[in-house]
Amino acid sequence: MRVTLRLLLGSLLLATAGCNTSVSNESEAARKPDLTPATLQMSDEQVTRRFHQIFYDRRTPWEHNKWLGIETMQNPLDVWITQEIIVETRPDFIIEAGAYAGGSAALWAMILKQVNPEGRVISIDIEDKMGEARKLSIVQERVEYIVGSSTGADVVNRIKEEVGDKKVMVILDSDHRKPHVLSELKIYSEMVPLGGYLIVQDSNINGHPARPGWGEGPMEAIVEFLSTTDEFEADRTRERMLISFNPNGFLKRVK
């Protein structure tokens, strides 16, 4: 079983490495993975980690993914897990910090509609790039885009007033620097009910295991946040797909 997994992931490494021929400052030889006998002796964990790094750093496998023609910049494996959480918890509101082009908000709204007919998505970004997304009927029906900072007092107060005591799920995917993510965690964790989820995306950067040397980001914010509260725990069962961009980032409220 271990050999089979290594051979399979080795093939995936080869395929992924060849999918992007425009990577700058990198020779063709450097892009080809090492499939020598030594590589095949790598543990499952080592192979998975290396594939994770290539999958993230190449960017082509996920950066241009679209939903209904709108860019989403989401890892499909994490999208699957997120839809499971939406179906299980059936929130009244999904708050998304980091709208980008608006595709992910449309995606969450389509899923939410199936399990909560009254459910809505509030998606926030400091730039308005959501023009094409606003043309979608599901967006017009169920998504509210807010232009502003996810930690700005005006935006936070507006959201608090809108969601009231409704059941909230939160997805953080905006500024990935530690101070900003930590501030978001402190603000939006208060809106998540018992059994609900706050998902911190891209906690894999800064060497966890992708993009080493990036600087303190989501993972470091998660570690500090969890050290100050016993109300949330990282639900590691949500990482069962082997490769998640959100390690330790599926935070569940347990108290």
pLDDT digits (tens, 9 = 90+) for 74-112: 999 999 999 999 999 999 999 999 999 999 999 999 999
| 60 burial via Cβ count (<10 Å: 0-12, 13-18, 19+) | middle
2 φ/ψ sector (left φ>0, alpha ψ -120 to 50, else beta): alpha
The pTM (predicted TM-score) of the whole model is 0.85
Q: Are strands 70-71 and 66-67 parallel, antiparallel or unpaired?
A: antiparallel
Dump pLDDT digits (tens) for 212-222: 999 999 999 99
Class of domain 70-253: alpha beta
Task: CATH 3.40.50.150 in the chain: give the residue spans.
Answer: 70-253
Q: What percent of the chain has pLDDT over 90?
A: 77
Contact 169, 253 (CB under 8 A): no
